[in-house]
C-alpha cells in the first residue's frame, strides 16, 4: 500500500489577553499566529518510515519491520479523547532510547510522530512514507510550535490513513476540513501534545486546529466563530514577582478579565460591522492597559518596556504575550500603518538585539495545501529531503 | 493696641496614594510636604495693615480707617465651621476691586487675608500690623500652597487676636498648638480656602494644620496619629483619558484603594516597630503599582515616564502625585540612599528640564517658630519687608 502525498500547515499561537490571569480563573484569549508549521507527507516504496525535522537537525529513518514489533497486542484504532496507550508509549521510549533524562526536542518530536503513526496504522498495514516538517515558529518561546507540529502530524497521518478525507479540490490552493474532521485532528494532536508536554492545557492544539481566536476559561476552550485578521509584529526579546498583596492583585485580575471580554466584544464587532479607526483605538488602549497590569503582576521586564517605548515612538502599541519576564511581545499594526513604518520599526527592534517578525493573528487553523501554493522558501527547504 | 509678633510656618501637601480614585469613593492618603510657607506677623503703630507676598509680587498697605468701613454691621466673632459671611465677602471684593474676571492669585490672597483679619478683629479694635509671607512651594502645582498660606494666616491672626495662645516657650525653637487650638486654626484656614477656591475639599488645610498623614474617604478626613518622616524628591515636570470601560476601570480603583490601605498599614508599622529595608521595599512596590494604575487611568504623561525611568536607573521609585498629566511626581529616598546619589539624580532630572526639590513627607503641621530658628534664606527674604 502506497499512501497519497499530503501537504498541510498549522499556525502557532499567541495570547492576546489574559496570560497569568487565566491561572486565577479569568478569561484568556488565545489567537492563531500566522507563523506556520508546514508538513509534507510523501508515500514511498522504500520500506522505511523517515522523518526530517530540519529546524532541530533531526533526520531519522526506521525500517517498517522494526516498527511492526512495536504495535501493541491490543492495538485497534484507538478512540479519540482517550488517555495515551501506556504500553505503546513505553515500547516507543525503549525503542528510540528515551530515558527520563533525555527528553530533548528531537526525542519528543520523534516519539510523538511514531505514536500517532503506529496508533493510526497499527491495526492494518504500516505504510512506507517520509514526513518532512519546516516551521516558521521559534521553538520554546511559548508560541505553540509543538502544537502546530502535532496538528500537522495528526491531520496528515489521519488523511493518509483514510480516516479523514483530503479536502483539497484540484483547483484549490488550500482547503480546510469540516468541523467533524477538525475535531478528530484536534484530538490526535492533543495526544501528540501529551507525549511532548505531559499535561498540556489543550489550548495550543485547539488554536493550531481551528485558528482564529479561542476563549479559554477554567479549562474550557470555546472557539470563537469569526474574528478579523489583525496585522502584528511579533518580537522575541530573548531574555516573575509573586502575587503578594491579594487585596491589590485580585482586582487587577478582575480588570484583566474585563479586558479580555471587551477585546472579544470588539473583535466580534469588527467581523459584523465596518471596521473603523475607533475599533483599532480601543484594541490599542486594551493592549496598553493590560501591559500595565502585567507589569503590576511582576511579569514585565526592562526589555519589554523597551519594546513598548520603541514601538510607541512609531505610534504602535505593544504588550508582552505569554509568560513574560522577557520572552515575546506583540505589536498591533493598524490597517493604515505604512510598510515603511513597519520596516523601520522592525529594524529598530533588531537594533535592540531582538528577533522580530511581521505576521498576523486570527488567521486560519490547519489547512491542506496544494504544494504549488506554498511559499517558495518553505518548498525549497522541504524539497531537500 | 499693638499686637505681639508671631512667626509661623505650615507645610504643603502631596498625595501619597489614591489620587483620582478618591473621586470614585476610594481612600486617598494625603501627606504633609516639608516644603513650607513661612509667615511673620509684626505689630506696628503706623495705622496701616500691610501684606507682603514676595512670591507673587504683592505688596499692599491699607489704612485702618478705610478697613473699619468694611466691618459688617452684624460682626461679632464668627463661629467656626460656618459658611462665609456673604456681606463681608461682597464688601471686600468691592473694596479691592475684584470682579469675576479678576480672580488672580494676588486678589485671592489679599481677599483671604482681609477676610480673616476683619472677621477676627472686627468686633474690637482693628490693630496696625504687617504680615510677610514666603513660601518654598511652587504655586498652582497641586501642592497645597494656598492652604499652607491660609493656615499660616489663621494661626498668626488667631494668635495675635488672643483667640489662641502662642505656644512657644522662651527656650523653644518651635512649638505646636494643642488639639483644640489646631481645630480652630483649621476651621479659619478652611474659610480662607473657601475664599480662594470656592469649594475646597478641606484636605489641604487639614494637612497644613496637622501635618503627618491624613486618610481621606468620601469627604471624611481622619488625621493619622503617627507616621514616619520619609525622605523624598519632589519633581515638577512642568507640562487625561476618560474612565471609559467601567468593567476594566472599577477593579483598578479597588486595587488603588487597597494600595492606600496597605501603605497606611506599613507606615503605621514603621512608627511602632524597627524600620527595616523590607518596609521600604513594600513602599517602593506600592509606588510602582500605583504608577501603573495611574497610567491605566490615563493620567500619566511621557514626562512622568521619564521621571520614573531616570530615577529607576538610580534604584529609586517614583509616581505622579496629584492631578497627573504632567505636573508633579514624588520619588522615595531610602534612609541609606547616599547624598551623592540624590545629587546626581536631582541633576539628571534638572537636565530633563524639570524642577526638583529634596524634601520629606510626614513632617509636622503648622508651627510657631522662634525667628532665630528659621532658615537664614527665609529670614533674609522676610526681613526685606
Find residues 310-329 of chain A whose CB sits inside 8 Å of chain B.
none
Q: Which three cell numbers stand for residue A153?
A: 502530524
What's the rounded Cα separation, in Å, for the pair A308 and A288?
Answer: 9
**B254: contact with A, CB 8 A cutoff:** yes
**Which residue on chain A is closest to B258 by alpha carbon?**
A248
Average pLDDT over residues B244-273: 88
Residue in chain B nearest A248 by alpha carbon? B255
Residue A359 pairs in a beta bridge with A232
Out of A128, A146, A150, A360, which one is annotated catalytic?
A146
Using only C-alpha atoms, chain A has a radius of gyration, in whole angstroms, of 21
Measure A23 CA to nearest chain B CA, in Å.
Answer: 18
- Nearest of B180, B194, B273 to residue B226 by alpha carbon: B273
Partner A contacted by B258 (CB < 8 A): yes
Q: DSSP letter string over A283-300?
A: HHHHHHHHHHHHHHTT--
Give the 3-state secondary structure of residue B296. helix
Average pLDDT of the segment spanning B250-261: 91
- Tell me if B252 and A248 make a contact (CB, 8 A cut-off): no
The residue of chain B with its CA nearest to that of A294 is B292
Instruction: Give kind and range of the element (H or E) at residue A265.
Output: helix A246-272
Residue of A nearest to B260 (CA): A248
Q: Which three cell numbers stand for residue B177?
A: 498648638
Q: Per-block average pLDDT, block size 10, for chain A (385 residues)?
A: 90 89 85 92 95 94 94 64 83 85 83 96 92 90 92 97 92 91 96 90 93 88 82 78 73 91 88 89 94 89 90 93 80 92 94 89 88 86 84
Tell me which of A296, A300, A312, A317 to substitute to probe the interface with B (most B C-beta atoms closer than 10 Å).
Answer: A296
B135 is catalytic: no
Comparing C-alpha atoms, which of B353, B328, B336 is closest to residue B231?
A: B336
Residue written as grid cell 509568560:
A323
C-alpha distances (whole Å) from B48 to each of B62, B63, B65, B122, B384 are: 5, 5, 9, 15, 18
Q: Which of B252, B261, B289 sits opposite A255 (nearest CB)?
A: B252
DSSP B170-219: TT-SEE---HHHHHHHHHHHHHHHHHHHSS--SHHHHHHHHBSEEEEETT
Supply the pLDDT for residue B78. 53
Angle formed at CA B44 by CA B132 and CA B382, multiple of 5 degrees:
20
Q: How far apart are CA B365 and CA B3, in angstroms?
A: 24
Q: Which three-class secondary structure state does DSSP give residue B283? A: helix
In this complex, is the C-beta atom of B255 within 8 Å of any C-beta atom belonging to chain A? Answer: yes
Task: State the pLDDT at residue B80.
Answer: 53
How far A202 CA lies from chain B's nearest CA (Å)?
28
Q: How many CB atoms lie within 10 A of CB A138?
A: 18
For residue A326 the three cell numbers come to 522577557
A26 interface with B at CB cutoff 8 Å: no
What is the CATH code for A5-221+364-384? 3.30.230.10
Q: Which of A63, A61, A60, A59 is closest to A47 using CA atoms?
A: A63
Q: A262–B251: do the CB atoms touch at under 8 Å?
A: no
Does this model's pTM top 0.90?
no
Cell 499660616 -> residue: B152
CA distance B79 to B75: 11
**Annotated catalytic residue A123:** no
CATH 3.40.50.410 fits B228-361, yes or no: no
Q: Are A385 and A189 within 8 A, CB to CB?
A: no
Cα distance between residue B369 and residue A370, in whole Å: 90
Q: A57 in the Ramachandran plot: left (φ > 0), alpha (ψ -120 to 50) or beta?
A: left
Residues from chain A that touch B250, judged by Cβ atoms under 8 A, are: 255
Model-level ipTM above the cut of 0.90: no
Tabulate helix, strand, coil % of chain B (nearest 5).
45, 25, 35
Cβ-contact B39, B153 below 8 angstroms: yes
Interface residue A259 vs chain B (CB under 8 A): yes
Q: To the nearest whole angstrom, how far is the Cα of A297 from the nearest Cα of chain B?
A: 9
* B 290-309 residues inside an 8 A Cβ radius of A: 292-293, 295-296
A141 contact B CB<8A: no
Report the chain A residue with the minimal C-alpha distance to residue B256. A248
| B284 contacts chain A (CB < 8 A) | no
User: Does the beta carbon of B266 lie under 8 angstroms from any beta carbon of chain A?
Assistant: no
- A305: closest chain B residue by CA: B309
Kindly report the nearest CA distance between residue A100 and chain B, in angstroms.
Answer: 41
Interface test with B, best of A26, A249, A254, A255 (most B CBs within 10 A): A255
For residues A154 and A9, the answer to whether their CB atoms sit within 8 Å is no
Q: Do B245 and A262 touch (CB under 8 A)?
A: yes
pLDDT at A228: 83
Quick count: other Cβ atoms within 10 Å of Cβ B54?
Answer: 15
**DSSP 8-state symbol, A350:** H
C-alpha span between B373 and B169 (Å, rounded): 13
Which of A232-241, B30-39, B318-327, B372-381 is predicted with the least confidence, judged by mean pLDDT? A232-241
B251 chain-A contacts, CB cut-off 8 A? 251-255, 258
Instruction: State the Cα torsion B225-B226-B231-B234 to the nearest 10°.
Output: -10
Chain B: give the shortest CA distance to residue A293, in Å: 7
Q: Which of A128, A145, A187, A204 is catalytic?
A: A204
Nearest Cα residue to B48 out of B117, B135, B98: B117
**How far apart are the C-alpha atoms of B32 and B362, rounded to whole Å?**
5
Using alpha carbons only, give the angle A28, A32, A38 rounded to the nearest 5 degrees.
145
Q: Do A255 and B251 touch (CB under 8 A)?
A: yes
Residues of B within 8 A of A295 (CB-CB) are 288, 292
pLDDT of the residue at B348: 94
Out of B247, B259, B261, name the one closest to residue A258 (CB). Answer: B247
Residue A265 Cα, gap to closest chain B Cα (Å) = 12
Q: Averaging pLDDT over each range in A3-12, B73-82, B244-253, which range is the top one?
A: A3-12
Phi-psi region of B326 (alpha: psi -120 to 50; beta: other; left: phi over 0): left
Straight-line distance from the first to the last Cα atom of chain B, in angstroms, rounded to the nearest whole number: 22
The predicted pLDDT at position A240 comes to 45
Task: Write down the catalytic residue from B112, B119, B145, B146.
Answer: B146
Q: Is the Cβ–Cβ distance between B108 and B58 less than 8 Å?
A: no
Contact status of A245 with chain B (Cβ, < 8 Å): yes
**Mean pLDDT, range B297-324, rounded to an integer:** 89
Cβ-Cβ contacts under 8 Å between A and B: the total is 59
A266: contact with B, CB 8 A cutoff: no
DSSP three-state, residue B124: coil
- With beta carbons less than 8 A apart as the criterion, state whether B321 and B17 touch: no
Question: Please, are residues B333 and B232 in contact by the beta-carbon 8 Å criterion?
Answer: yes
Name every chain B residue with its beta carbon within 8 A of the beta carbon of A289.
248, 296
Q: Does A255 touch chain B (CB under 8 A)?
A: yes
Using the structure block, give the residue that is written with the C-alpha cell 515500547: A91
pLDDT of residue B104: 85
Tell me which of B80 and B296 has the higher pLDDT.
Answer: B296
Look up residue A331 and give its three cell numbers.
Answer: 505589536
Which grid coordinates are listed for A319? 504588550
Q: Across-strand partners of A220?
A: A217
What mean pLDDT is reported for chain B?
89
Binary contact (B293, A289; C-beta < 8 A): no
* Rounded CA separation B27/B315 (Å): 28
Q: Which residues of B touch A255 (CB under 8 A)?
A: 248-252, 255, 296
Domain boundaries, chain B: 5-221+364-384, 228-361
Rounded distance, CA B246 to CA B250, Å? 5
Amino acid at each position: 500500500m502506497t499512501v497519497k502525498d499530503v501537504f498541510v500547515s498549522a499556525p502557532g499561537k499567541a495570547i492576546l489577553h489574559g496570560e497569568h490571569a487565566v491561572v486565577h480563573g479569568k478569561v484568556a484569549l488565545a489567537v492563531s499566529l500566522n507563523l506556520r508549521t508546514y508538513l509534507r507527507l510523501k508515500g514511498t516504496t522504500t520500506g522505511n518510515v523517515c522523518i526530517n525535522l530540519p529546524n532541530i537537525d533531526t533526520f531519522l529513518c526506521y525500517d517498517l519491520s522494526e516498527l511492526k514489533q512495536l504495535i501493541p497486542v491490543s492495538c485497534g484504532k484507538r478512540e479519540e479523547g482517550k488517555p495515551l496507550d501506556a504500553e505503546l508509549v513505553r515500547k516507543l521510549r525503549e525503542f528510540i532510547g528515551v530515558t527520563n533524562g533525555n527528553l530533548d526536542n528531537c526525542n519528543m518530536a520523534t516519539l510523538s510522530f511514531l505514536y500517532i503513526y503506529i496508533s493510526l496504522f497499527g491495526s492494518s498495514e504500516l505504510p512506507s512514507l517520509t514526513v518532512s516538517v519546516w516551521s516558521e515558529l521559534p521553538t520554546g518561546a511559548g508560541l505553540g510550535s509543538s502544537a502546530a507540529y502535532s496538528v500537522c502530524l495528526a491531520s496528515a497521518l489521519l488523511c493518509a490513513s483514510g480516516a479523514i478525507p483530503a479536502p483539497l479540490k484540484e483547483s484549490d490552493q488550500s482547503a480546510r476540513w469540516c468541523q467533524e474532521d477538525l475535531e478528530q485532528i484536534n484530538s490526535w494532536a492533543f495526544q501528540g501534545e501529551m507525549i511532548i508536554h505531559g499535561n498540556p492545557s489543550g489550548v495550543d492544539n485547539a488554536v493550531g486546529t481551528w485558528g482564529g481566536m479561542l476563549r479559554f476559561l477554567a479549562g474550557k476552550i470555546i472557539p470563537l466563530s469569526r474574528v478579523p485578521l489583525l496585522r502584528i509584529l511579533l518580537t522575541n526579546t530573548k531574555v516573575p514577582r509573586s502575587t503578594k498583596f491579594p487585596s491589590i492583585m485580585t482586582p487587577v485580575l478582575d480588570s484583566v478579565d474585563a479586558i479580555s471580554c471587551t477585546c472579544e466584544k470588539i473583535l466580534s464587532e469588527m467581523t459584523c460591522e465596518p471596521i473603523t479607526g475607533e475599533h483599532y483605538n480601543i484594541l490599542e488602549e486594551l493592549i496598553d492597559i493590560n501591559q500595565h497590569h502585567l507589569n503590576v503582576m511582576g511579569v514585565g521586564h526592562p526589555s519589554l518596556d523597551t519594546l513598548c517605548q520603541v514601538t510607541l515612538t512609531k505610534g504602535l502599541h505593544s504588550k508582552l504575550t505569554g509568560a513574560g519576564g522577557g520572552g515575546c511581545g506583540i505589536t498591533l499594526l493598524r490597517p493604515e500603518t505604512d510598510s515603511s513604518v513597519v520596516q523601520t520599526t522592525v529594524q529598530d527592534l533588531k537594533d535592540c538585539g531582538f528577533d522580530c517578525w511581521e505576521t498576523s493573528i486570527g488567521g486560519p487553523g490547519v489547512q491542506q495545501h496544494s504544494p504549488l501554493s506554498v511559499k517558495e522558501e518553505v518548498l525549497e527547504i522541504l524539497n531537500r529531503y
